[in-house]
Amino acid sequence: MHSVNPAQAFSLKDRVAIVTGGGTGLGFAMASCLAASGARVVITGRRTEVLQQAVAQLGANVCAEQHDVTDLESAPALLERIEKRHGLPAILINNAGVHVKKTVEEHTLADFHTILATHVEGAFAITRAAIPLMKRAGSGSIIFIASMSSVMGLPLVVAYSAAKSAYLGMTRSLASELGPHNIRVNAIAPGWIETPMLAKALTGDTARTNKILSRTPQNRFGSPEDIGWAAVYLSSPAASFINGVLLPVDGGASIGF
């Protein structure tokens, strides 16, 4: 029988966590919550200055490694550096991504490829590189940051929707394959969260703001920390038998009417 010490159920003490795209937005919030729960967090991203600013704000439990997820061949070297400098990773959060909002006619093949290369190929490359290290460590938690577009039809984001929906297939397949190695794989689908990106998207668009709130039973936007604490839970001993699921963190938007 597997039992969890209640005092340690949500502790990530001394676990090495990697958050891609961790310098801003949801990645920053997840890094903050993981660090607050005791993890030693490595944030990655393309922009060194952004990473340095984030580390200065996040504190001693967080450090940075510059990495572009679209540079697929460099993923093994990133994991080697992390192991050498920080230890074997126990947590990987695939959060890095880009967004294109256009009609389907305006979406170019280059747009489509860029979105899939960043989200799907980039996440696959770093996950593939992390798995042998997690196997050596004897356990692991991998989280894909999905989207409302993974579970409902949203207009003007066909490439983004395709990429985020692919995360669900990756989550289920990897959960089945890696479960015997005590490596759990799950996904989080954030709802409408108060970030600079959302503020930019909704500025001056009262109708869209009201539409989002009207279909969200809690009648408000979420905070970035709502996603952060969900990531802590899925990575913690408390979730030791949670594997292969998509967890919406959306105030009920995905089931609201």
Which residues are designated catalytic?
Answer: 160
**Strand-by-strand arrangement of the 62-66 sheet:** 62-66, 40-45, 16-20, 89-94, 140-145, 183-190, 246-249
CB atoms near residue 166 (< 10 Å): 19
- Within 10 angstroms of residue 205's Cβ, the number of other Cβ atoms is 11
What's the rounded Cα separation, in Å, for the pair 50 and 23?
A: 6
Cα–Cα nearest to 79, from 28, 142, 25, 36 = 142
How many Cα atoms within 13 Å fall on the side-chain side of residue 248? 15
3-state secondary structure of 40: strand
In the chain the beta strands, taken as DSSP E runs, fall at 16-20, 40-45, 62-66, 89-94, 140-145, 183-190, 246-249
**162: Cα separation from own chain's centroid:** 16
What is the rounded distance in angstroms from the CA atom of residue 141 to the CA atom of residue 138? 11
